[in-house]
Amino acid sequence: MRKMTPPGAVISGRLADSILTRLPVLARNLGPVAAGSKRLASRYANTLRGGWAVGDWSELSHSRLIYLQAPASELDSILTRLNRAIGRWDNRILVLLDDDVDCGALHSAAAAGASVASLAHLQIGQSDLAFVEGGAAAVSRLKSILARTGVHVILMQPGDKTVYSAGVNLGRLVSSALMDSVVRCLRKAGIDAATSRKIVGWIADRSVAEVLTRGKTSAVARRIPVPLLEDWQMDALCIRDARIGLFARQLTAATAEFCCEEPDTPLTTQGPQGRGLAEGVKAAGM
């Protein structure tokens, strides 16, 4: 039997691009590593270059801190097995490593006495951001681990992480669809693929710059930072590609409504051709 060991980990799923691999400091002094089988745990430990594989999950009870990294669909079953192996969690910390799910998913461990937290990670260029939320003891421990690594720790209140992840995923979803539609639109205009990609890159860079500097622009520019598509432009898109044309109409209407200064005055397209959108924007004082 070992004495009180370094942090333990329960791992399931792919390690590629996982938080444990993106933040090596977490695995630097890792102890027991548990998984669906000891053989799988050994593979995880070898990949992380830290810790040792265990087949008996009760060995995790020697660690005061345990990391849990697993797909959301597996959390309940893993927690059932982990709670059974640990028994009482008194004075122990359980940290969920997940970019979307918060520590509320660890409620069964918290009910058994664990101090729970979750950690999300985002790397922007050379900067590492860690988003941490949960119980005081768990949060304090994570802060002390990350303090000397140069990682910027952002503390979140209950419920904040869900809104944060929704914003990130919304941005990735919408921007991907939007950029793809722009490329298709440019290709329909006879522009070659390489040039289309360059134009999309310019649009993305310009859009980011406008968002970051919008506070310095006029009130009108803050509400509608770029010109709306005119009806004749919409019609041209619909003729070349009906799917892009419909997407452009819906997106333009949604953008106008979102940017409207008076949210109680929604802007909607009029008729199948979207006539009157520009007039609606002007009527709203935009």
pTM: 0.76
Q: What residues does 154 pair with on adjacent strands? A: 131
Q: Which CATH architecture has domain 8-158?
A: 3-Layer(aba) Sandwich (3.40)
pLDDT given at position 266: 47
Which of 85, 67, 73, 76 minimizes the C-alpha distance to 146? Answer: 67
Q: How far apart are CA 90 and CA 98, in angstroms?
A: 23
Cα 52 to Cα 32: distance, rounded to the nearest angstrom: 5
**pLDDT values of the chain reduced to their tens digit, one per residue, 286 residues:** 445 679 999 999 999 889 999 999 999 889 999 999 999 999 999 999 999 999 999 999 999 999 999 999 999 999 999 999 999 998 899 999 999 999 999 999 999 999 999 999 998 888 899 999 999 999 999 999 998 888 999 999 989 999 999 988 888 888 888 888 889 889 988 999 999 999 998 888 887 777 777 654 444 445 555 566 778 888 888 888 888 888 888 887 877 777 665 544 544 444 334 434 444 444 434 3
User: Using the 8-state DSSP alphabet, how is residue 264 labeled?
Assistant: T
CA distance 23 to 17: 10
pLDDT value at residue 275: 39
Query: What phi and psi values does residue 279 have, to the nearest 5 degrees?
Result: -65, -35
Bridging pattern class, strands 115-124 and 152-155: unpaired
Q: Residue 138: its pLDDT value, please?
A: 97
Distance in angstroms (rounded) separating the CA atoms of residues 71 and 103: 14
Q: What burial class does residue 108 get, using C-beta atoms within 10 Å of its C-beta: 0-12 exposed, 13-18 middle, 19+ buried?
A: middle
Helix (H, G, I), strand (E, B) or coil at 174: helix
Domain locations in the chain as residue ranges: 8-158, 165-283
- Residue 155: the pLDDT is 96
Q: Residue 225 belongs to what H/E stretch? A: none
pLDDT of residue 104: 95
Q: How far is CA 181 from the centre of its chain?
A: 23
Q: Residue 269 has what pLDDT? A: 42
Look-up: residue for tokens 């941005």?
171
- The predicted pLDDT at position 172 comes to 83
Q: Are 266 and 260 in contact (CB under 8 A)?
A: yes
pLDDT at 225 (0 to 100) = 54
Please state, in angstroms and rounded to a whole number, the distance separating the CA atoms of residues 134 and 143: 12
